[in-house]
Amino acid sequence: MTRRVSWLLVGMCSAGLAAGCAGDLAKMITTNPDIRDKVMSTISGNGALAGMMVDRLMSSDSTRAIVLDKLMTNGGAVQAVMGRMAQDQTMVDGVLNLAVQDSSMRDHVLTLLKGMEMTAR
């Protein structure tokens, strides 16, 4: 019985230390640029971790908006997204369907299509 109590105390102390360290880590990341850089380098250098971080960032409206705003200011990233979308007919259909919901954009899309049609002849 004494061994069980000892192991229970060890487990409780370990859990307490882990919880305490987790709180300290969050504070250290926000206040210590060196620690923050190491954590971010670790995440960005590991595809699985990077994917998990992107999933977390995209799961909330507020962080999704930040990610999309950052993405849209990066020309290379925008080109890569457009390239991927251009290779998928369903995505092109989706973009066109969204675009033509606005009357001025619909006119623009129709003008582009007419121009493409004229050059194809």
Q: Which two tokens stand for residue 104?
A: 């001025």
What pTM was estimated for this model as a whole?
Answer: 0.64
Average pLDDT score, the chain: 86
pLDDT in tens, 22-51: 568 899 999 999 999 999 999 999 999 999
Look-up: residue for tokens 């990341």? 29
Q: Which two tokens stand for residue 42?
A: 């670790």
Residue 72 predicted with pLDDT over 50: yes
Q: What is the pLDDT confidence band of residue 8, given thresholds at 50, 70 and 90?
A: very low
Distance, CA of 57 to CA of 106 (rounded, Å)? 32
